Amino acid sequence: MPKTLLLVIASFLIYSNTHAQDDVLFIVGETKVKKSEFESIYKKNNFNNKADYSRKSLDDYLNLYLNFRLKVKEALSQGLDKNDRFKDELKTYETQLLDSYLDKEIADKLIKQEYERSKIDVNLSHIYISFKEINEKEAMVKMQSLQQKLKSGMDFVEVAKFSDDKNTMNKGGNLGWFNSFQIALPEIEDAAYSMKAGDVSDIIQTRLGLHIIKLNETRAARPKLKVAIIKRYYSISDLSDAAKKITDDTMQLAYSKLKSGESFEKLVEQYSEDDFSKSNKGQLDWFGINTYTKIFEETAYALKDGEIAPPIKTSAATYIIKRLETAKSLTFDEATPSLKSKIPSTPQFLYSLDKYVDKLAVRFDVKENKQYIPSFKQRIVALANVSPFSYRDTIKPATLLQIGNTIFNENDYGKKIQETYYSVMARSGMDRNDALIKNTTQQFILDFFKNDIKKNNPEFISLMEEYKNGIMIFTLSEKNIWNKASDDTLGLLAFYNAHKQDFDLKKRGTLRTITFDNIKQARLVAKILKSDKSITDDMLVAKMKTAGIADPKINSEVVEDGKNKVNIATEYVAEPTLSASNKIVISQLYHILPAKPRAFEECRGYVVAAYQDFLEKKWLEELKKKYPISINKDVFESLVKK
């Protein structure tokens, strides 16, 4: 396994420069490295308040960084940055890194938003005017007249009777309860979760039409449930009351048996007609609100875990429901992986993407020449009549988009559409060709955004430089250290023979430390240890629990002579002592083993690791000769906090 890429260098040629304002900290060969670069890396890699600017801290890190720069210098001299494999790997990383900046602005924010919203259920009513029969302008006039009725004091329930939603117009416009991700129109979700109970929204436009919503009430989100069912279907060939009664009586019989103590699983086998759940002891998958019919869900949520409800009826079947388990609330960290995989396929993601691209359009002064879009769209429609789709350049392409000084014409759009023609799907209610053009516009803006990051974002530039150097150093280290240490059998064996004593097993023993709440417990366990010095940790835990110590705290480790402050001359059980945390502690040293030499094969892994260290030190000495190092002592001193 490769060891760390950087090792400490013992000494360098140090020169003194009386002009401390010169910010070149050191030179490797011909390469100058400024104080600001070193300081930035020092602070970044010495996190948790370890960048204290002490002389030791700065000196240690300078040695590490010098080694790093030596290897980078050698890698560049060998042209490793020109290698095709290197370029491909760097390009892959660049793509992932650029995507991460977009994720921060869209996916990451959306994950936090949806996690917080998922804690609350909202009950909504709406008034809806569709775009199906009338255009947007006519729809707006109609909706504004309804809005005026609300403002004049007419009850929402009465105004909802003018809604185009035939399913809710006579129910006060009530849509029911929703949780995040369950509202298919993100604009509605955004409005609902920004309102207070009783609030009525302004007019909201979506792809389907115009809406005014009322937030009726909120509640803590209902958790997901796990239930088991016994289900019997009503006959579809005999719709008589007598036939229904036979089904109902059968379920009442099953319910009576459950009340008498018979097994639910057994009665599932005997009575249930639902093939999907019957093969799984009647169990359904986890579900939340808006998964099943209202009566089914209300019945399930009214139960407690383990309870069974009397039979309920829907139009098609009758059920007996047993609530098995209630899902626990997830922390943000626990919920994130699921949300991360779910979000890209949601309408909320596309909505957030649209809003972010709109922000970028303002930021980069994007100009769209929409007057040319209809004729361009006609060309796309005509070209699509021949399969597979293939765009043909036009001689005088019109400019469709300008971002800064960059112009995108019809041919640029056409080539991009050809790349994505079979992968872009239109959103519900949107023409596919409009979707292709919109997607292309967004891609050009996002590409411009990413190019701007590449050129102007200091963090991105720094990360790319670090990764580039890391790839090159890995390749060099693999060649000069790791592979050589593994493959050079004769060299490895010679190194072992020259340093045999370093690989001998030292005298060693097992140190067991036990922590107690009181002295009585400690004395009891000390007595056990003295009577059975070789007792295993597991057996000791069992005895401690039997003695009434509910939570035994034992830590065992192997200690070597010379490597620890522990005296391992003889076995012992120490008297109880008080630790710094005011806990009583007993320590025991046992199972002492004598020192002994190890054959090469017994310690091969240790030899390889030590040989790698040896090869790296030797290689670094060669690099220092090839690329002399000089350090500006005064600039270094200016970093040290006295």
| pLDDT, tens only, 407-423 | 999 999 999 999 999 99
Do residues 256 and 338 lie in contact, with contact meaning Cβ atoms separated by under 8 Å?
Answer: no
| DSSP string for 193-204 | TTS-TT-B---E
Q: How far apart are CA 175 and CA 170, in angstroms?
A: 11
Q: Among 47-61, 209-223, 258-272, 415-429, which stretch is predicted with the lowest mean pLDDT?
A: 47-61
User: Which DSSP category does 580 fall into?
Assistant: T
Task: Please tell me the predicted confidence (pLDDT) of residue 394.
Answer: 95
Please tell me the number of Cα atoms within 13 Å of 167 on its side-chain side. Answer: 5
Q: Which domains does the chain have, with CATH numbers?
A: 120-220 (3.10.50.40), 225-326 (3.10.50.40), 342-456 (no CATH), 505-593 (3.10.50)
Task: Name the nearest CA neighbour of 422 among 382, 386, 389, 376.
Answer: 389
Backbone phi, then psi, for 336, in 5-degree steps? Answer: -55, -50
Q: Among 49-63, 248-262, 430-444, which stretch is predicted with the lowest mean pLDDT?
A: 49-63
Q: Residue 289: which pLDDT band, with cuts at 50, 70 and 90?
A: very high
Q: How far apart are CA 126 and CA 178, in angstroms?
A: 13
What integer is the mean pLDDT of 345-352?
92
- Is 60 exceeded by the pLDDT of residue 361? yes
What integer is the mean pLDDT of 97-106?
94
Task: Please tell me the predicted confidence (pLDDT) of residue 9.
Answer: 28
Residue 488's H or E segment, with its range, is: none
Q: Residue 224: which pLDDT band, with cuts at 50, 70 and 90?
A: very high
What integer is the mean pLDDT of 366-379?
96
Task: Please tell me the predicted confidence (pLDDT) of residue 8.
Answer: 30
261: left (phi over 0), alpha (psi -120 to 50) or beta: left
Task: Please tell me the predicted confidence (pLDDT) of residue 48.
Answer: 63
Question: What is the percent of the chain with per-residue pLDDT over 90, rounded to a whole number?
Answer: 83
**Tokens representing 251?**
């379920």
Q: How far apart are CA 39 and CA 60, in angstroms?
A: 13
Task: Name the nearest CA neighbour of 600 among 506, 490, 509.
Answer: 490
At 228-285, the pLDDT tens digits run 999 999 999 999 999 999 999 999 999 999 999 999 999 999 999 999 999 999 999 9
- Is 50 exceeded by the pLDDT of residue 10? no
What integer is the mean pLDDT of 622-630?
96
Q: What one-letter code names the amino acid at 125?
A: S
- Is 80 exceeded by the pLDDT of residue 13? no
Do residues 572 and 588 lie in contact, with contact meaning Cβ atoms separated by under 8 Å?
Answer: yes
Coarse DSSP helix, strand, coil percentages of the chain, rounded to the nearest 5 percent:
50, 20, 30
**Tokens representing 588?**
């025991």
Task: Please tell me the predicted confidence (pLDDT) of residue 18.
Answer: 36
At 472-514, the pLDDT tens digits run 999 999 999 999 888 888 999 999 999 999 999 989 999 999 9
Q: Residue 150: which pLDDT band, with cuts at 50, 70 and 90?
A: very high
